[in-house]
């Protein structure tokens, strides 16, 4: 499969700014256009990632941003795939570019989030598992993160200090990232002193919800060349696979896993299958990676991702953190942006932001957090209801 | 005397030996929870017949998490809020993991992966006339 080019990336800083999500998106869009040197009126396709907490404009994100930037006739798509929405939008742009339907496209996501736990939509909705898990179990998102974390402690001997070390690392990485919301050095003692949310996880180990926006300008390699970009960052693989039956790891917002009765289990668990599909497309493997951005919804979950993307065998992730392998300067830096630990989650923007970060590293433009000589990077995430995404970029 | 009613209809039985109610595919033997009689999610046999079955009353702890913050609505929190534990339980025969609250009189610090637990009933919340009942997992012994 042919690569597409990343011509420009841009973000609105993450925070709690109290503005309409469209304002953030326009800032990110204009930054990406300026970075790409592309005039908005030349963009042929706008692929928006939806927000479900901001009314109708959020459900039609592609059109919302096309209108906000000034109608110019571009085709639009709007995608919702929970935490994977941003890359689902990117894959929509990529598919149209590779099919020859568009040469240059904008991918964009922005969100304004409420304070506190993400909650289900309002109303009495007894047939919606997302509503029922709150009503019957009080199973917030951190509850599932707590289940995964405790499982690591029981199976692999992980300690709460191992989990805290992930936060310390990510806080160090994000300290000088101008787009990060939380830019503060954190010690193991700070983590241990923060209140327990979902035992064994503490407040400083669970990602917050944030306002923010990210945008990219992507195009065909021919378009890039014709506009003087001889060696752009390229997108070599994009995976948006769903699970394969039986999915035997309990996932948000479910009450139960699939039953493995009478069937053979898939070769890979769901998280590993998301990465595998992107590796296959790009023709690379874990050993080729120079950096990765993984979805650290919790500190412990970052360790699960190390194994899912093949950085180590199951049960070995704690050792990678202890040895500093995933710190900038180590063998394979993970979350050089600071990750969700420093950003908090702005759902439709987050997966796009991950790719923005990879792009800056491959260009050598990541400033104080630069991973030297980065040529291949991977981003990955997972969301509710069987969504996941993975992107591999190279230069 | 308040009337005891299930907090959700058709998910579990209310007798002395309560059990979760799932569904099972006639061709594949696959189990599903919550019960779904409309369609099979096993891609091998999407049109197979489904029947209601009681799931195993006992299982083994897969993992657990204790929440120390009050969750948002629609959770019906006691006032004042009381920390509670959610357990993931592996059902050996069904080869699936099912969530549920830990019985509030059980101590989460005694749990390990593999601890044997069984289904019991407890109160999720109450109003003036009703006690709304939920399944809970309780360590055997």
A156-197 pLDDT tens trace? 999 999 999 999 999 999 999 999 999 999 999 999 999 999
Residues of B with CB under 8 A from a CB of A: 7-8, 28-34, 41-44, 62-69, 71-77, 84, 86, 88, 93-101, 108, 112-113, 124, 134
SS3 of residue B110 by DSSP:
helix
Check: pTM over 0.95? Answer yes or no: yes
Is A124 part of any domain? no
Same domain, A173 and A30: no
Domain ranges of chain B: 57-139
- A52 contact B CB<8A: no
Same domain, A326 and A344: yes
Same domain, A267 and A244: yes
Q: In sequence order, which residues have a C-beta less than 8 Å from that of residue A132 and are 6 or more positions away?
A: A126, A255, B8
Residue B20 to residue A3: CA distance in whole angstroms? 50
Residue of B46, B67, B98 to mutate, interface with A, max A Cβ within 10 Å:
B67
Same domain, A95 and A215: yes
From first to last of the 141 residues of chain B, give the pLDDT tens digit. 899 999 999 999 999 999 999 999 999 999 999 999 999 999 999 999 999 999 999 999 999 999 999 999 999 999 999 999 999 999 999 999 999 999 999 999 999 999 999 999 999 999 999 999 999 999 997
Angle between helices A299-308 and A270-282 (to 10 degrees): 50
pLDDT in tens, A322-359: 999 999 999 999 999 999 999 999 999 999 999 999 99
Same domain, A293 and A189: yes
Same domain, A321 and A341: yes
Residue A368, domain CATH: 3.40.47.10
Q: Which residue of A has its CA nearest to B84?
A: A138
Nearest neighbour of B75 by CB, restricted to A138, A151, A246: A138
Same domain, A215 and A275: no
Same domain, A134 and A222: no
Same domain, A98 and A148: no
Q: Are B97 and B113 in contact (CB under 8 A)?
A: no
The distance of A267 to chain B (nearest Cα, Å) reads 16
Q: Which domain holds residue A329?
A: 129-206+236-394
Task: Give the per-residue SS3 of A58-103.
Answer: HHCHHHHHHHHCCCCCCEEEEECECECHHHHHHHHHHHHHHCCCCC
ipTM reported for the complex, 2 dp: 0.97
Sort out which chain B residues have CB atoms less than 8 A from A154's CB and list them.
63, 112-113
Q: Are A45 and A53 in contact (CB under 8 A)?
A: no
């Amino acid at each position: 499969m042919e690569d597409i080019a990343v011509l420009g990336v841009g973000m609105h800083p993450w925070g709690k700014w109290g503005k309409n999500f469209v304002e953030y998106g326009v800032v990110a869009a204009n930054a990406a256009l300026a970075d790409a040197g592309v005039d908005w009126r030349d963009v042929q396709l706008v692929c928006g990632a939806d927000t479900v907490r901001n009314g109708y404009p959020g459900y039609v994100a592609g059109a919302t941003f096309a209108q906000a930037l000034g109608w110019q006739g571009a085709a639009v798509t709007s995608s919702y795939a929970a935490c994977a929405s941003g890359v689902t939008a990117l894959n929509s742009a990529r598919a149209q570019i590779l099919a020859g339907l568009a040469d240059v496209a904008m991918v964009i996501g922005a969100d304004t989030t409420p304070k506190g736990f993400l909650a289900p939509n309002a109303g009495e909705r007894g047939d919606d598992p997302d509503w029922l898990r709150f009503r019957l179990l009080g199973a917030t998102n951190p509850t599932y993160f707590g289940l995964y974390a405790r499982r690591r402690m029981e199976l692999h001997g992980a300690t709460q200090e191992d989990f805290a070390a992930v936060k310390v690392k990510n806080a160090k990485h994000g300290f000088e990232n101008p787009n990060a919301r939380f830019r503060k050095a954190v010690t193991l003692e700070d983590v241990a002193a923060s209140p327990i949310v979902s035992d064994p996880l503490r407040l400083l180990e669970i990602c917050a919800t944030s306002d923010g926006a990210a945008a990219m300008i992507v195009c065909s390699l021919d378009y890039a060349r014709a506009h003087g970009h001889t060696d752009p960052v390229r997108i070599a693989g994009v995976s948006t696979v769903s699970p394969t039956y039986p999915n035997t790891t309990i996932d948000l917002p479910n009450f139960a896993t699939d039953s493995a009765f009478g069937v053979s289990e898939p070769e890979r668990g769901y998280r590993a299958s998301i990465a595998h599909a992107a590796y296959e497309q790009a023709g690379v493997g874990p050993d080729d990676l120079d950096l990765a951005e993984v979805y650290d919804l919790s500190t412990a979950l970052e360790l699960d991702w190390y194994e899912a993307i093949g950085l180590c065998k199951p049960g070995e992730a704690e050792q990678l953190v202890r040895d500093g392998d995933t710190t900038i300067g180590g063998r394979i830096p993970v979350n050089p942006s600071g990750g969700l630990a420093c950003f908090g989650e702005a759902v439709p923007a987050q997966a796009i932001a991950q790719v923005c970060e990879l792009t800056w590293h491959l260009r050598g433009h990541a400033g104080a957090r630069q991973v030297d000589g980065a040529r291949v990077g991977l981003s990955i995430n997972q969301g509710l209801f069987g969504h996941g995404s993975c992107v591999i970029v190279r230069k | 005397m308040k009337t005891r009613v299930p907090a959700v209809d058709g998910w579990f039985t209310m007798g002395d030996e309560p059990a979760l109610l799932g569904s099972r595919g006639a061709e594949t033997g696959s189990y599903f929870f919550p019960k779904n009689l409309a369609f099979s999610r096993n891609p091998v046999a999407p049109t197979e017949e489904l029947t209601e079955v009681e799931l195993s009353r006992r299982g083994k702890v897969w993992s657990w998490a204790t929440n120390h913050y009050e969750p948002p609505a629609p959770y019906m929190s006691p006032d004042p809020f009381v920390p509670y534990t959610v357990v993931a339980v592996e059902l050996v025969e069904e080869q699936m993991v099912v969530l549920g609250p830990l019985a509030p009189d059980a101590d989460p610090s005694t749990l390990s992966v593999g601890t044997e637990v069984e289904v019991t009933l407890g109160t999720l919340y109450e109003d003036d006339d009703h006690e709304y009942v939920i399944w809970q997992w309780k360590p055997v012994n």
